[in-house]
């Protein structure tokens, strides 16, 4: 145990990788990653989070762990989604710098060297911004651009454009993020929210190595709503202004109708205009209710205070295999 805690204190760099059905990428990923990390001459650990994969991901990860003790595995009890998996990984790191990276090699491991050199210059967060997006169609590029435009307009936090979770975080920032109590983990928003000294480096994002993306448009849409609802109240507040505008218009129109009736007598009422107004206002009210519902739903999620993720097993966090088995049996609950 003494040896182990010695070990923890000296780790300089922790890599965090979420895995969800990534069996075909594992070997190549570790090959490229370890060759970069060995060049760096730093004491490192690779924290792999298995986010409820249904293929052989866990089996392969555990095999890698038994061959290479720097590879540690956190096995979650089911699929919790990338953001929760990332939180789980970050919570298990002990390095002075933490680098979350995707398992599909869309974040080139070679860039870690550049991240580290900026960190050594004194930056707390070094994020890698995509100069180009290869292997993505125009619809994905267009929707991504629209999302960044909207969120930068309505949120006071400037979320850097075209930036994923691939970045380097100083331990100071990691500790702050770990303490954030919120359940809705819109990671790129949280990373931007904390502030500190941040800098970007540019890279060309390659297409996925093997396998397919887990993000369909419905998931991306919900992800975008998560981001907007966690970082802006404008969708909630804008309705009072729209209401004031509509009431003013209605009042003016009513005055016009009264005066016209007084002067010209009763007119034949317009069925079409009535229908339009009723349907329009009904639609507006439903939209407003839906938006209020979005926020109330989120409040509900937060107050339940369920854990963000559940860990089923841990591999490689202790030196003896005895302890390994013990850590595996009771389900650990991580509250914050
Ligand atoms: N991922 C995860 N849990 C999920 C979905 C994805 O841990 O529920 C991981 C996935 O294994 C990969 C990373 O998150 O390492 C990015 O996923 P993906 O490549 O599918 O997203 P994209 O690059 O298309 O945005
Ligand atoms: Mg990917």
Token pair listed for 277: 């107004």
Q: What is the pTM of this model?
A: 0.73
Ligand 1 atom 22 nearest Cα: 213
Pick from 302, 147, 132, 309: which is nearest to 215 by CA? Answer: 147
Ligand 1 atom nearest to 20, measured from its CA: 11
Helices (H), the chain: 2-10, 26-40, 57-67, 82-91, 112-120, 138-154, 171-179, 187-193, 217-231, 234-264, 271-304, 321-328
- pLDDT for residue 133: 67
Res 319 pLDDT > 60: no
For residue 5, what pLDDT band results from cuts at 50, 70 and 90?
very low
Res 314 pLDDT > 70: yes
Token pair listed for 22: 């990534």
CA 202 to chain centre: 20
Strand partners, 311: 76, 332
The verdict on the CB of residue 79 being under 6 Å from ligand 1 is yes
- pLDDT for residue 335: 44
CA 231 to chain centre: 13
- pLDDT for residue 15: 93
Helix, coil or strand: residue 52? coil
CA distances from 296 to 44, 196, 324 (A): 42, 31, 42
- pLDDT for residue 77: 92
Mean pLDDT of 86-107: 90
Neighbouring CB atoms inside 10 A of 79's CB total 16
| Rounded CA separation 302/296 (Å) | 10
Q: What ligand is nearest to the CA atom of residue 25?
A: 1
- pLDDT for residue 188: 78
| Tokens 């996925």, located at residue | 208
Mutational pocket test of ligand 1: of 29, 56, 82, 185, the residue with most ligand atoms within 8 Å of the beta carbon: 82
The verdict on the CB of residue 102 being under 6 Å from ligand 1 is yes
Res 137 pLDDT > 80: no
Token pair listed for 257: 């109708």
Higher model confidence: residue 129 or residue 327? 129
Percent of the chain with pLDDT over 90: 16
- pLDDT for residue 328: 43
Q: Give phi and psi for 174, each to the nearest 5.
A: -60, -45
Mean pLDDT of 286-313: 87
Burial call 228-253: b when 16+ CB within 10 Å, e when fewer: bbbbbeebeeebeeeeeeeeeeeeee
Pick from 59, 164, 170, 82: which is nearest to 125 by CA? Answer: 170
- pLDDT for residue 135: 66
Mutational pocket test of ligand 1: of 104, 208, 224, the residue with most ligand atoms within 8 Å of the beta carbon: 104
- Please say whether the beta carbons of 196 and 173 come within 8 A: yes
- As a whole number, the mean pLDDT across the chain is 82
Tens digit of each residue's pLDDT (9 = 90 or more) over 20-38: 998 888 988 898 899 888 8
Ligand 1 atom 23 nearest Cα: 213
């Amino acid at each position: 145990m003494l040896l182990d805690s010695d070990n923890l204190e000296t780790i300089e760099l922790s890599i965090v990788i979420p895995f969800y059905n990534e069996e075909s990428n594992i070997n190549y990923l570790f090959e490229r990653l370890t060759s970069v990390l060995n060049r760096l001459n730093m004491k490192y650990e690779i924290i792999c989070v298995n986010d409820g994969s249904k293929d052989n991901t866990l089996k392969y990860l555990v095999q890698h762990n038994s061959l290479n003790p720097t590879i540690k595995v956190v096995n979650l009890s089911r699929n919790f989604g990338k953001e929760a998996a990332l939180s789980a990984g970050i919570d298990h790191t002990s390095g002075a710098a933490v680098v979350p990276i995707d398992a599909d090699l869309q974040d080139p491991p070679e860039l870690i060297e550049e991240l580290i050199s900026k960190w050594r210059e004194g930056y707390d967060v070094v994020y890698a911004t995509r100069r180009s997006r290869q292997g993505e169609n125009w619809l994905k590029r267009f929707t991504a651009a629209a999302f960044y435009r909207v969120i930068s307009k309505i949120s006071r936090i400037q979320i850097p454009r075209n930036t994923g979770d691939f970045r380097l975080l100083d331990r100071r920032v990691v500790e702050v993020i770990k303490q954030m109590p919120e359940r809705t983990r819109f990671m790129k928003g949280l990373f931007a929210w904390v502030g500190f000294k941040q800098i970007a480096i540019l890279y060309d994002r390659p297409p996925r190595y093997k396998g397919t993306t887990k993000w369909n448009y419905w998931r991306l849409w919900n992800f975008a709503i998560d981001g907007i609802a966690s970082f802006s109240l404008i969708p909630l507040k804008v309705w009072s202004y729209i209401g004031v505008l509509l009431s003013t218009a209605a009042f003016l129109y009513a005055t016009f109708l009264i005066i016209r009736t007084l002067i010209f007598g009763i007119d034949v009422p317009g069925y079409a205009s009535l229908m339009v107004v009723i349907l329009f206002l009904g639609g507006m009210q439903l939209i407003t209710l839906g938006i209020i519902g979005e926020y109330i739903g989120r409040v509900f999620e937060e107050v339940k205070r369920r854990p963000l993720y559940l860990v089923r097993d841990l591999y490689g966090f202790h030196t003896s295999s005895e302890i390994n088995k013990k850590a595996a049996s009771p389900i650990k609950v991580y509250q914050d």
